[in-house]
Amino acid sequence: MSRICWLLTIVTTLVACNSRQEPVSEATTDASGAVELEFVRTLNEQIQFRLSNQTSQAISFRVGEQTPEGVHPVDVQFKCKRAGSDQWDQGPRPMADGNIIDLVVAPGSEENLIVLHEPGSTESYADGACRVDLRLQGGPVIESGEFLP
C-alpha cells in the first residue's frame, strides 16, 4: 500500500476515535431553537419525559414499543448519583425486542417518552438525583434535567 493510503487510513481512524459525542446540556440550542427533554413523572418502574423539538429541523431517534402513554426509546441511558456526589452511576440500557423504528419529531412538535427501570434500582439514590440521556439519530445526545428518584 502506498504511503498516501496508509496516511489516509491512519487519519480516518484517528478522526473516528476522537468523534465521541458527549451529553449536551438539558437544552441543545441552535440559531432557531432548542431540543428539550423534560421530566414529567414517575409511576412504578416507568418514568415519563416530554421531548420538545423547538428547532427548525426534524429530529429522530429509535423506539421499540409505542403505547398510549408514550414511546419507549431504545438509545437511552438512565443515570443516578448519590447526595453530595458528582459521580453519575449508569444503569442498564433498555432492551428492545421486535420491531425497532426511527421516530421523527417534526419542528415545533412534542413526543412523550417512557423510560423503564428496574423496581428498587433507585432506592440507594433516594437523597440524590437521576437523569436520562437520549441519543438522537446522527449522534447528538440530549440530557434531561435532574429529577428525584
pLDDT digits (tens, 9 = 90+) for 99-139: 899 999 999 999 999 998 776 677 778 888 989 999 999 88
pLDDT digits (tens, 9 = 90+) for 18-34: 333 333 434 444 434 79
Residue 94: what pLDDT?
Answer: 64
Specify whether domain 22-143 bears CATH 2.60.40.
yes
Residue 97: what pLDDT?
Answer: 64
Mean pLDDT of the region 37-48: 89
The single-letter DSSP state of residue 123 is G
Q: Where are the domains of the chain?
A: 22-143
Helix (H) or strand (E) segment spanning residue 13: helix 3-17
Residue 28: what pLDDT?
Answer: 46
Least confident of 2-6, 84-88, 145-149: 2-6
Residue 78: what pLDDT?
Answer: 87
Quote the pTM value: 0.73
Distances (CA, A) of 50 to 34, 37, 115: 13, 6, 11
Q: Which residue has the higher pLDDT, 29 or 43?
A: 43
Q: Per the structure block, which three cell numbers stand in for 94?
A: 433498555
Contact by Cβ (8 Å): 133, 94: no
Mean pLDDT of the region 76-90: 90
